[in-house]
Every structure is written in C-alpha cells, then in structure tokens.
Structure 1
Amino acid sequence: MRADLGKDPSQVSAMFDRVAARYDRTNNVLSVGNAPLWRVATTRAVAPKPGDRILDVAAGTGTSSASLAKSGASVVAADFSPGMIEVGRRRQASVPNLVFVEADATKLPFGDGEFDAVTISFGLRNVNEPKLALAEFFRVAKPGGRLVICEFSHPPVAFVRTGYHAYQRYVMPPLVRLSSSNDTAYEYLNESINAWPDQPTLAGWIREVGWVDVEWRNLTMGVVALHRARKPLA
C-alpha cells in the first residue's frame, strides 16, 4: 500500500511509518549525497541561537531537528507519523533540548505566537492542505518570527530539468530497490515532486497567509528550493 496525490493524511502517515527505519539512509542515497548539504543550508537559513524556541514540522526522525538543537535552541520536532517519531526519539535520545510531538501540520497543538522560527524540510508537499499549514505556521510564530521551507522544486534551466527527470525515471527506481524497505512508497515521492508548484507559486502561497519579506534561493540548480519569510511585528 502507498499514498497517492490525494494525500489522505492516514495513508501518508502509514506510508512514512513503513519507511521510517531506513528513511535517512535512503534519502542520502537518492540525493546522491546532497541531503546533508541541504540540511546545512536550511540550518543556516533558520539561524538558530540559544534561547530560541524552534518548531521543526514534518521532522521525521529528527535529523534536521538535532542539527538545529546544536545551537542551544529549544527545538520541537513535530511529525504525524508515529513510526517516524518512535525512530527519532530513539536516535536523538542524547539531545537534551529536543522533544518530539505527534502533530498534524494543518492543526498544530500549540498556542499563538509560541515560536521564534518555524521550519519544514521536504514535508510541505505531503500535506493535503499546504496553504492551511502555512497559515498554521504563521499563527504559532511570534511577531518577527522566521519561516524556512526546504522543498523539492523545479530546475529553471531546461537541460538541468531534462536531466533531473531522466534521473527520476531511470536511476532512482533501482536505487530505491537497493536502499529502501518499501520501494512502492517512493513512487509517490516522484509523483509528489512533479506535481508540486514551482518556486514563484510557493512564494505566492506564503505571502497569501500573511508572511512578508518572502524570498527563495535554489539549491542544486533548483532541484531543491529554500524559501524564507518573516512574520510582521505588528
């Protein structure tokens, strides 16, 4: 069983439960070693510091959350997959300023204005109502709070885009079979990437719910895009 582009929350959650144990290893293989570089770029964009309270949504096994917590910030790793949270709590048990919470990105169990920064990496496209999630991120951020989204996107240069699509079609499937515990789940990965909007469209969605100073930069020639924004002080 695998999720489809209807993104039924129970289906998506169950799919991630099944791939949790080997999720990080598979991501490193499929990204051809770029996943750690994307994580470093995201952490720098969030710019965590001691005393900050940071929400990492769709945190999975907490790899990105642990990177943020190294700064001394207090990090909440939220995910709606119990399987991911179970693996994350075990792997990140030595990180004292990191807690895991089971949560739906569209109905966050937090009060208004709780977080200095909200971030999500490779998770927004798995949410069935991404605009509602963006509005929830806005609600729980403090005035002046930061938003950082790292997500697969669309390379703007034609020959790069063609090469990337060839990689998705011909190279990724055998790599998935070698590295993943559930290769059918990664069929959904490709479908969800190709159906996801481009960089300007996502920037527009972010602005729609109230974020300001919205900007993005491409990573790996636009295979991934890093969007940043700020909640107004007023």
Structure 2
Amino acid sequence: MSRAGLDKNPREVAEMFDGVAKGYDRTNSVMTLGFDRRWREWSRRVLDARPGEKILDLAAGTAVSTVQYAESGAWCVAADFSVGMLVGGAHRRVPKVAADALRLPFKDNSFDAVTVSFGIRNFNDTVLALKEMARVTKPGGRMVICEVSTPVWRPFRVVYMRYLLKLLPLIAKFVSSNPVAYSYLAESMATWPNQRALAELISKAGWEDVAWFNLTGGMVALHRATKPKPKPKAEEPTP
C-alpha cells in the first residue's frame, strides 16, 4: 500500500489513488457521515450545467459527480490522473479521460465550465492547475471548486484540526482498501489554504468575479469564478 507525501509528487498521488479506488465511494460516504452527497448536490446547483454545454469534471475519480452534472443535458467528461479511479467508475456511462491537471489534453476554450471536487489540493502546483483550467474554458465560462476548508467557528475549528482529522486514518482502517493513504489526506486537509487564501490563488491564476460560500460551517467551501472575456480593442482615432 502507498501514500503520497505533502510534496504531492504526481506519480505518488496517482499510485495512492489507484490504491484507494476499490470501495472509494463507500469509504467517502462513511468518512463524511453521508455529507459528501450534500456537498456534491451543492456543487451541482452552483455549477448550473445546461443542455448543450460542455463540462470538464477534473479529478473526477469514479465519475459520481460527472454523472450528476450530465443529468442536466450537458455533455460532461470525467478526467483524472488515476487510471485506477477511472476504472473503478467504468460502469458509469460518461466519457472518461486519463489526464494530468497541469497539462490538460484539451484545446484552448473547449469547455463552457470546469469543476473539481476534493481534488485540487492534490495537485502539486495549484496556480498552474488553475491556469490550465482557465486555458481550456471559454471566455465568460465558469469554474466551480468544492474543497475542504477552514471551519469558521473557532471552537469547532480547534476540535476539527486537533482531533477530527487525526481520526480519519483510524476510521480508514475499517473501510478503505488503502488506509495508509488517509494519513496523507488528513495532512493535506490540515495544511490546505483557507477560503480567502484559495480565492487569492484563483485570482492570481487569472480568474475574475471570485467568490465563495461555506458548507458545514466552513469544513467545506465552494469557490466559483469566471474566465474574463477579451477586452474590446479601442478604435483608432480618425485622422
């Protein structure tokens, strides 16, 4: 069994998720007490995929969320660096692509929207990944990120950081096919930027209209943003 380090070496991250692919969806539901379903539903609502649109679901894992987005009538593709995760979702009938988030195999301006749920913190260059997401999104297109964050109520934040995160590897021993991986996941959650810091990274990567709102007291946050449209060229003065 393998786990990645906090340097988030892409090969190690891929191997780690290959190791947790078996039973991954069940493990998520157990570890989150079923809240993962609510968080996915909020992501679906905020993304607001529409018939005829093209949606990229990045770090899609077994494509659970991709199927939900596709119910809108949009054409949705699941992309993930872990082939094992994609194989784990082979029974879900949406297109799937093995892809590196830092070098996406799509043309510029290919998608109306791009989304990533609980995956961006596993990329070893957050800003580069956000820039790649912008590259493949059409001008005026949107991005939605659902990710763990920092609880806003201080007493709960202390309990969350000191105790709840440390419980994850212990619980994983009973429900995961690769329990050692959850030591990394707990560490990556504890060191991940808070809501405002992530918003600043999104802006730094070139997105605009960046906003967020908290779910479950800030334990999870949804960030959304828009890719800027080209500014109209100024007319040259008449001689």
CA distances 1:20-43 after superposition (whole Å, capped 9, x unpaired) = 011111111111110000000001
- Give the alignment partner of residue 216 of structure 1, picking from 209, 212, 215: 212
Q: For residues 129 and 175 of structure 2, what CA distance do their matches in structure 1 show?
A: 31
Q: Look up the match of 2:237.
A: none
Determine the structure 2 residue equivalent to 1:44: 45
After superposition, what is the alpha-carbon deviation per residue over 1:158-195, rounded to whole angstroms, capped at 9, x for unaligned? 111122222222x3333211111111000000000011
The alpha-carbon deviation at position 156 of structure 1 amounts to 1.9
**Counterpart check, 1:150 vs 2:146:** yes
Partner of 2:67: 66
The number of residue pairs the alignment matches comes to 228
Q: How far apart, in 2, do the equivalents of 1:70 and 1:155 lie? A: 32
CA shift for structure 1 position 87: 1.2
TM-score norm. by structure 1 comes to: 0.95
Partners of 2:22 and 2:88 within 8 A in 1: yes
Moved more, 6-15 or 171-180: 171-180
Q: Percent identity?
A: 50
Return the letter of the residue paired with 1:168: L
Task: Verify: 1:167 aligned to 2:167, yes or no.
Answer: no
Give the 3-state SS of the residue equivalent to 2:89 in structure 1: helix
**Structure 1 letter corresponding to 2:17:** F
Supply the distance in 2 between the matched residues of 1:206 and 1:189 (Cα, whole angstroms).
Answer: 22
- Normalising by structure 2, report the TM-score: 0.93
Higher percent of residues as helix: 1
Q: Deviations over 1:51-98 (max 9, x none)?
A: 0100000000000101101111000100000101111123x0xx3xx2
Partner of 1:137: 133
CA distance in 2, matches of 1:134, 1:81: 19
* Residue matched to 1:203: 199
2:24 is aligned with 1:18:
no
* Cα displacement string for residues 106-142 of structure 1 (whole angstroms, at most 9, x for unaligned residues): 0000000000000000000000111100000000000
Q: Which has the larger radius of gyration?
A: 2
Query: Structure 2 CA distance, aligned partners of 1:25 and 1:134?
Result: 29
Q: For the residues of structure 1 that align with 2:210 and 2:164, how far apart are their CA atoms?
A: 30
List gaps (5 residues or longer) in structure 1: none
Paired letter, 2:212:
W
- The residue identity in structure 2 corresponding to 1:159 is P
Out of 115, 129, 147, the residue aligned to residue 119 of structure 1 is 115
Cα distance in 2 for residues equivalent to 1:62 and 1:11? 21
2:23 aligned counterpart, secondary structure: helix
Residue type of the partner of 1:53? Answer: K
Cα distance in 1 between the residues matched to 2:194 and 2:228: 25
Q: What's the counterpart of residue 225 of structure 2?
A: 229
